[in-house]
Amino acid sequence: MIEFQKRGLPHAQFLIILQKAYKLASPELYDDIVSTELPKEESNPHSNAAIAKHMMHGPCGHLNKQNVSMKDGRCKIQYPKDFCPTTRHGQNLFPIYRQGDNSNCIEIRGATLDNRRIVPHNPYSLAKFDCHTNVEICSTIVAVKYLYTYVYKGYDRIAFHTISQQSTNGINEIDQFQSARWIYPPKAMWRIYKFPLYEIYSTVINLQLHLEDMQLITFKNHNNLEDIINNELSSKTMLTEYFLMNKINLNARQHLYKNFLEQFVWYKKKTKSWNPQKRKDVVGRIITANPVEGE
């Protein structure tokens, strides 16, 4: 998703979910993806220069108390970090990555910075794209929830009202209240040129879930209720037709409801039916059943 800011250029947020065989099951595997250490300049000068250009935070703290990240005399994003000999799980959202005290330092804006001020990154992506690329591992469910909220947080909102300086009447906040979207110049240009704002890959389709004969039916005010009840299509849902396919198609019985989209396609508009047709890159997600709804 493309995120816009009140200052600066837009940047992209990527949430990458790995297949089961490639998931990072232990902190030792995180080091294959994420690095927070400065290599020796003679061994990897290109990576060293890229880190110095894009991935060093600061100087802040006692080195520069005027840095934009400073608040109440401390760095609000907690730099510099502590040296850590091995990667391990932290108590907050993200892991604590390996940041060894290897004496490798670099000069940034007149200050000498070490590993404790390196933003987590992937060396390959950094070298390939030559820009700031912060990479984090989602090691806990808290981090996953945080990232989903962050990626899908929606538009920035603003509440405002206008009054005349010559007005002698009291301010009626309810009548004058306005709610609007805050659109920055880069975002306006992005929309004018119709650049993509978000993308989901693979395609994710919600699978309906309901009790027997309790499916949701929508209709317009002018529709005749008897016609709706007598219309066979009205009562058809993904779930009812899934059970029907299991009755008439032996191959359908081999697939759970959540995996049904891997082998069948749902035709909604005309027939409301499943058709045997293998589709690639489609993920089915069953709609949540809240416990407060009862059995």
User: Is residue 37 within 8 Å of 118, Cβ to Cβ?
Assistant: yes
pLDDT exceeds cutoff 70 at 141:
yes
Asked whether residue 34 is assigned to any structural domain, the reply reads yes
131 and 31, same structural domain? yes
What is the pTM assigned to this prediction?
A: 0.61
Question: Cα separations (Å) of 169 from 160, 162, 163, 172?
Answer: 18, 13, 10, 9
pLDDT at 167 over 70: no
Q: What is the pLDDT of residue 93?
A: 63
Is residue 167 in some structural domain? no
Asked whether the beta carbons of 75 and 66 are under 8 A apart, the reply is no
Q: Is residue 186 part of a domain?
A: no
Domain region containing 239 = 203-293
Confidence grade of residue 122 (pLDDT, cut at 50, 70, 90): very high
Q: Is 238 helix (H, G, I), strand (E, B) or coil?
A: helix
Last residue of a domain, one of 90, 116, 136: 136
Residue 12, pLDDT above cutoff 80: yes
Which of the listed residues 113, 136, 159 is the one where a domain comes to its end? 136
Does residue 150 belong to any structural domain of this protein?
Answer: no
Verify that 35 and 128 share a domain, yes or no: yes
Based on the structure, what is the number of domains in the chain? Answer: 2
The answer as to whether 7 is a domain residue is no
Give mean pLDDT, residues 112-138. 90
pLDDT at 161: 67
Q: Are residues 41 and 126 in the same domain?
A: yes
Answer whether residue 182 is part of any domain.
Answer: no
Amino acid letter, residue 2: I
Instruction: Specify if 265 maps to a domain.
Output: yes
Between residues 202 and 75, which one has the greater pLDDT?
A: 75
Is 181 a member of any domain?
Answer: no
Residues 127 and 222 in one domain: no
Contact 180, 160 (CB under 8 A): yes
Of the residues 118, 136, 154, the one at which a domain ends: 136
Reported as a single tens digit per residue, the pLDDT across 217-253 is 888 888 888 888 888 888 899 999 999 999 999 989 9
* Whether residue 277 has pLDDT greater than 80: no
